[in-house]
Amino acid sequence: MIIARSIDDLRAACTGPISLVPTMGGLHAGHASLIERAADGGCVVVSDFVNPTQFGTGEDFDLYPRDLDADAVIAAAAGASVLFVPTLETVYPTGFATTVELGALASQLCGATRPGHFAAVATIVTRLFAIVRPVRAIFGRKDYQQLIVVSSVTRDLALGVEIIGAPTVRDPDGLALSSRNRYLTADERSTALAIPRALDTIAAAYVAGERDSAALVLPALEQLSAIPLDYLELRNACDLGPYEPCQPAIALVAGHVGKTRLIDNIELAPDAERVSTKEFA
């Protein structure tokens, strides 16, 4: 695996069709699964850049895990051809003044408490696509709203990149892997387990035939009583529009455990077997 720091190094390192896995580093088995999904014989580029513009004031930009050596080991083992570690100047050259403007979804769910976050994500993803020129890009379903935003930007701006949403990787106890889990103390981690358990409760009721949104959400809210929530919502899984009982649905949650903000979701398909958060362990 080559570590490329400039666009020239990146271009020199890649021949053939490129698959891109954008990350902010702090790599774990969830990122590795995306890289493995990308590995199909072509060139697999993993970008590793903590994007300052997508963090709000008072968020964890300074604390965010940065360990290039550890990232390189994980990326190489998962099959990356190139680890692209651009400088701030490469991503945002002097004079950079463009932000992608998004539709209404960008100010809902995570966008309601993180104003500007998805516009910043859409902007860097668009720029990474232009720099890396991939044929496909792999994103995690763990960040489902991000996946939907990136899919719509790619479609609306005809960016010509196939977007693949890969399943959420979880620890055996059900907690979705996240670079931010390393902030959690042991006590906070056990508190955080209420999140996958509450999502499992919703999935179990849904599979048993419950379709009423209050009946689905209220028991889960009780399970989450120890976690200050930004939201727990049911939505249409296709575009995150309003929940419709006859469409594939999704339950999404964001909450604060200590100083750590965690998000998770579970997809609910009308005809599917129960999808437990533990199945992806």
Catalytically active residues are 31
Q: Which long-range contacts (CB under 8 A, 24 or more apart) does 88-91 make?
A: 88/52, 90/5, 90/6, 90/7, 90/131, 91/49, 91/51, 91/124, 91/127
At closest approach, how far in Å is the CB of 279 from ligand AMP?
Answer: 13
Part of the chain binding ligand AMP (CB under 6 A), chosen from 169-177, 195-203, 234-242, 251-259: 169-177
Q: Is 177 one of the binding residues for ligand AMP (CB under 6 A)? A: yes
Q: Binding-site residue total for ligand AMP (CB under 6 A)?
A: 17
Residues 264, 171: Cα–Cα separation, whole Å: 13
Part of the chain binding ligand AMP (CB under 6 A), chosen from 111-119, 128-136, 177-185, 205-213: 177-185
Interface residue with ligand AMP, options 10, 24, 91, 119 (CB under 6 A): 24
Comparison of 28 and 235: residue with beta carbon closer to ligand AMP: 28
Part of the chain binding ligand AMP (CB under 6 A), chosen from 124-132, 164-172, 217-225, 266-274: 164-172
Q: Is 250 one of the binding residues for ligand AMP (CB under 6 A)? A: no
CB-based closest residue to ligand AMP = 140
Buried b (16+ CB within 10 A) or exposed e, 193-217: ebbbbbbbbbbebbbeeebebeebb
Q: Is 178 one of the binding residues for ligand AMP (CB under 6 A)? A: yes
Contact (Cβ atoms closer than 8 angstroms) between residue 28 and residue 175: no
What are the structure tokens assigned to 91, written together?
A: 């991503």
Part of the chain binding ligand AMP (CB under 6 A), chosen from 136-144, 156-164, 204-212, 245-253: 136-144
Q: Is 139 one of the binding residues for ligand AMP (CB under 6 A)? A: yes
At closest approach, how far in Å is the CB of 224 from ligand AMP?
Answer: 19
DSSP letters for 233-269: EEEETTTS-B--TTS-EEEEEEEEETTEEEEEEEEE-
Q: Is 202 one of the binding residues for ligand AMP (CB under 6 A)? A: no
Residues 19, 37: Cα–Cα separation, whole Å: 10
Interface residue with ligand AMP, options 10, 19, 30, 106 (CB under 6 A): 30
Q: Residue 3, exposed/middle/buried by CB under 10 A (0-12, 13-18, 19+)?
A: middle
Phi-psi region of 49 (alpha: psi -120 to 50; beta: other; left: phi over 0): beta
Which residues of the chain form contacts with ligand AMP (CB under 6 A)?
Answer: 23-24, 30-31, 33-34, 139-140, 142-143, 166, 168-169, 176-179
